[in-house]
Amino acid sequence: MKKNVMTIVLAIMLAMLCALPVFAQGTKESAAASAAPVKISLWYGAAITEAGPPPADWVALQIIREKLNIDLELTALPSNESDQDVKIQAAGAANNLPDVFMVRRDAWLRLVNQGLIAPVDSLYAKMPVRTAAQYDSASIAFTTVSGKSYGFASPGSISKNEGLLIRKDWLDKLGLAIPKTTEDLAKVLHAFTYNDPDGNGRNDTYGFGAFLEINNYEGGLGRRLQPILGAFGVEGTWNLTEANAGLSVRKPEMYDAMVYIKSLVDDGSIDPNWLAYQKDDFRAAWKQGRFGVMREQNAAYAATANYAPFDKNFPDGEWIVIDPPVGPKGHSSVGPYTTGYRIYAISAKAAQAGKAEKIAELLEWMSSDEGYYLLGWGVEGVNYVKDANGIPVDKDMPLGFSTATGQTVTQLRNMVFFNGDVELYARYPKYVTEVSKKEMSALDVLRDMESRKWTPNNGGDTLPAPNADLKRFYEQGLAEFLTGRRVLNQQNWNAWIAEFDRVGGKAWEDAGIAHAKANNLLY
């Protein structure tokens, strides 16, 4: 017994001896912890998806650590939007979201409803410079749910930055005028398909090029066909006019638009690959001279690197921006436009851990002169220099911000850019093409595209999205009418619309109109 007691006493003493340094160390560590950098994880949308992430020894990370006492961990989101949603939602499902992250609105709304995102209303005042540059009442409204703002909506892609383009050299060769109406357009598309506009003696060109690119406010047949749908007044998923509010697909004019597009498909005037194309296939196709009319984005068409292959293949080729065609009832539009935003949200977990104010500090620094130029263009003298007008340029600089290596240090530029003039001039400089020696400017193209006729659709991207089954029914039905799997006549169309309503189409429209009214989106 005595022996046992001695053993127990010795064991307790040994345990205490072991534990003492732990407690002592703990005290020391907690004191040190207050001075240690705050770890903040950031999931960002890369500015140039094909370029790599910023280097590990990136100077911005060092400055952030030294000046802000923040240890910033960067993770690039996938380039594909659906993959982005999956990554973020999977992290959300495990309550393991990063501290701050870029997120698309649909996924963001789901996370808000799950209580996984922190409200940020109190943080705007802590970021005076950034708020003045990036956030206004419209952007705050974009992230407001039940009276609270659940994220920062930074300016996204420039609105009205696409246009209807036509091969001017093909028109000239065939002696055709620029099409003004849908009738003219059909004739031009037919001629481009069957009259050998490139003069190579082969029947290998088509009139119109497209692919299915669908988003919340350009549903159904998607963005690329909007100039044709616009001629019938049914561009965009939603019509947001007070007098005619509702889903475009439920308007009688949609049937007329479908009949017109079907006639183009039947004539063979639309590149038959259009339903199988992905974005890159489409872009490779126009550069190979496969079609002569398309809706394309200003930089994707005219920026130096993007135009170069076309310039090389067709030194005498020339695209010009034209007005969208006018339809039988006088309608005309390139498509709907809305103000684009990128949402950066703070996870509820980060807010609970007391990181929200530190994140605001980080974002404010990003919008300071130092952060803005560093994240936007890199280090002055290394990645860019300023020209006489104060515009960053990188001509002949081996690590220039537009070179493959230099691009990596501008991957976070979407967090600081607000589509200001300096950015646009720097991003879209005038240049002379290598082969044809044409002077080009994606900025001039942008200004031209902006001046064409567009349909306002502000808030169209915030309206309720259809559920997965209804979305499938909607998109599949339209595609099937065009491919001939469903015969397109008024009777079949009416039956399909009735079925669409039964699956939930009418309820979707009612919910959308109610949301639009409640948020003053109708005009």
Partner 1 sequence: MTRITEKTRKTPALDLYRRQKRGRLWREVVRHRSAYLLLAIPFVYYIIFKYGPIWYGQIAFRDYRALDGVLGSTWIGFKNFLTFINSFYFWELLRNTLMYSFGKIIFSLPLSILLAITIYEATGTKLRKTVQTLTYLPHFLSWVIMYGILLTLLAPGDGIVNDVIKFFGGRPIDFLTNTKAFPWIVILSDAWKEMGWSAIIFIAALMGIDMSLFEAAMVEGANSWQRVRYITLPSIRPVIVVVLLLKIGTILDAGFNQIFILYSTPVLSVADIIDTWVYRQGLLQFEFGLATAVGLFKGAIGMSLILFANWMTRKVSDTGIL
One residue of 176, 382, 422, 479 binding partner 1 per CB under 8 A: 479
One residue of 468, 491, 518, 520 binding partner 1 per CB under 8 A: 468
Q: Which is nearer to partner 1, 250 or 349 (CB)?
A: 349
426 Cβ contact partners less than 8 Å away, ≥ 6 residues apart: 377, 384, 391, 392, 393
Encoded tokens for 337: 């436009």
Q: With CB under 8 A, what is the number of residues at the site for partner 1? A: 40
Q: What is the footprint of partner 1 within residues 204-233 (CB under 8 A)?
A: 204, 206, 212
Does position 275 bind partner 1 by CB under 8 A?
Answer: yes
Longest dimension (CA), the chain: 115
Compute φ and ψ for 311, nearest 5 degrees: -60, -40
One residue of 122, 476, 489, 492 binding partner 1 per CB under 8 A: 476
Does position 467 bind partner 1 by CB under 8 A?
Answer: yes
Site string for partner 1, 69-108 (x = CB under 8 A): -------------x--xx--xx-xxxx-----------x-
Residues shown for the chain: 523
Does position 492 bind partner 1 by CB under 8 A?
Answer: no
Q: What is the footprint of partner 1 within residues 344-363 (CB under 8 A)?
A: 348
How far apart CA 440 and CA 388 sit, in angstroms, is 21
Q: Which is nearer to partner 1, 110 or 515 (CB)?
A: 110
Q: Which is nearer to partner 1, 196 or 480 (CB)?
A: 480
Q: Which is nearer to partner 1, 107 or 186 (CB)?
A: 107
One residue of 66, 266, 281, 421 binding partner 1 per CB under 8 A: 281
Q: What is the footprint of partner 1 within residues 308-347 (CB under 8 A)?
A: none
One residue of 475, 507, 511, 522 binding partner 1 per CB under 8 A: 475
**Of the listed pieces 71-79, 193-201, 231-239, 275-283, which binds partner 1 according to CB under 8 A?**
275-283
Answer for the pair 203, 190: CB distance below 8 angstroms, yes or no.
no
Does position 290 bind partner 1 by CB under 8 A?
Answer: yes
Does position 21 bind partner 1 by CB under 8 A?
Answer: no
Pairs from 210-215 (Cβ < 8 Å, separation ≥ 24): 210/270, 210/271, 210/274, 210/277, 210/282, 210/294, 210/295, 211/274, 211/275, 211/277, 211/278, 211/279, 211/281, 211/282, 212/274, 212/275, 212/475, 212/479, 213/279, 214/475, 215/461
Does position 193 bind partner 1 by CB under 8 A?
Answer: no
Q: Which is nearer to partner 1, 64 or 350 (CB)?
A: 350
How far apart CA 139 and CA 126 sit, in angstroms, is 17
How far apart CA 310 and CA 314 sit, in angstroms, is 6
Q: Which is nearer to partner 1, 104 or 130 (CB)?
A: 104
Does position 7 bind partner 1 by CB under 8 A?
Answer: no
Q: Which is nearer to partner 1, 152 or 277 (CB)?
A: 277
Q: Which is nearer to partner 1, 255 or 500 (CB)?
A: 500
How far apart CA 87 and CA 81 sit, in angstroms, is 10
DSSP string covering 176-243? -PPP-BHHHHHHHHHHHHHS-TT-SSS---EEE------BTTB-TT-GGGHHHHHTTT--SSEE--ST
Within 10 angstroms of residue 160's Cβ, the number of other Cβ atoms is 17
One residue of 42, 46, 60, 116 binding partner 1 per CB under 8 A: 116
Does position 480 bind partner 1 by CB under 8 A?
Answer: yes
Does position 192 bind partner 1 by CB under 8 A?
Answer: no
How far apart CA 237 and CA 454 sit, in angstroms, is 14
271 Cβ contact partners less than 8 Å away, ≥ 6 residues apart: 206, 208, 209, 210, 277, 285, 290, 291
The site for partner 1 (CB under 8 A) is made up of 82, 85-86, 89-90, 92-95, 107, 110-111, 114-116, 204, 206, 212, 271-273, 275-276, 281, 290, 348, 467-469, 471-473, 475-476, 479-480, 482-483, 485, 503
